[in-house]
Structure 1
């Protein structure tokens, strides 16, 4: 099993595309990339800790290759928005691929280049590709939020504009 870490705005919305797929062993919502240890949601949401909301995915590369994870990832975000994602604004909602080894780094760079060259987006691709650093799991109530709080998740996602964006650019 390997790990993949992606920032794509609200971590609640980044769980569902990968959830329950063959070869996915688990998905944990959390924080990475900041300058304080063991941050809380209340701290991260201020945008002052340097952390991004992320999902850490445990996967079997034989059943679900990293390339497929990257393909799904790009289809969940606006890679041209440096100010956050959809209605979630601030650096804590930035997009980034955090690689765990050199192969992931290379594949991430290749996938970003392919997106840049695709002509799909009019603005530059700003998604960062950075080495994975310490990952802090989010509080328990954030884990599997889409299952625990179905109605609130559905309402929040509908208001966010994410699905309209995805449909416009990928469907």
Structure 2
């Protein structure tokens, strides 16, 4: 599926279930996978990541066609799914495994992410500083099959979770 004309992006914004759907619906997206990255434990399980012992965070890996959707557009979609002023988790999910991070895989991606973060910080949209980390991407480990496309396979639970976690309310109020 991945070839020379495609690129990848990795974003962490709390529960990975909630990060798949917003990207999955965009033209130019080839695939969105839930998984783990940013830590040291190879091939971690969901239980290990949730235990906060691996250093990993829940994230999504997006394969996209940059001739249809740009990395900058993906970063803009990313911001609108998160609370970029909360470094200690996202909404009801707390801890380092839910921290917000833009993982870049090239110098160009780093520059785009940094410029976008600065623009958001200077926009006045939030009263607190933008604390989302921007870090170099490392290995991405795909999550277990039951986590993939959770919003489609378990739509009732997914929608209740998005509401109950506070994510929907925050997005409506701030974006």
TM-score interval, smaller chain: over 0.9
Gapped regions of structure 1 (runs ≥ 5): none
* Aligned pair partner of 1:162 in 136, 148, 167: 167
1:122 alignment counterpart: 127
Tell me the secondary structure at the aligned position of residue 103 of structure 2. Answer: strand
* Aligned pair partner of 2:45 in 40, 51, 57: 40
In the alignment of these two chains, the number of paired residues is 170
Q: Is 1:101 aligned with 2:106?
A: yes
2:22 alignment counterpart: 17
Instruction: Report deviation, 1:155.
Output: 1.0
* Aligned pair partner of 1:66 in 55, 68, 71: 71
Tell me the secondary structure at the aligned position of residue 13 of structure 1. Answer: helix
Which segments of structure 1 move beyond 3 Å, counting only runs of 4 or more?
Answer: none
Question: 1:148-159 counterparts in 2 under 5 A?
Answer: 148-159=153-164
After superposition, the C-alpha distances for 1:15-46 in whole angstroms (9 at most, x for unaligned) are 11111321000000000011211100000011
After superposition, the C-alpha distances for 1:55-109 in whole angstroms (9 at most, x for unaligned) are 0000011100111101100000001111100000110000000001111010000
Q: Is 1:112 aligned with 2:112?
A: no
Q: Please, what TM-score do these two structures have when normalized by structure 1?
A: 0.98
Distance 2:86 2:53 in 1: 19
Q: Please, what TM-score do these two structures have when normalized by structure 2?
A: 0.96
* Aligned pair partner of 1:87 in 85, 92, 114: 92
Q: CA RMSD in A?
A: 0.7
Gapped regions of structure 2 (runs ≥ 5): 1-5
Distance 1:104 1:34 in 2: 20
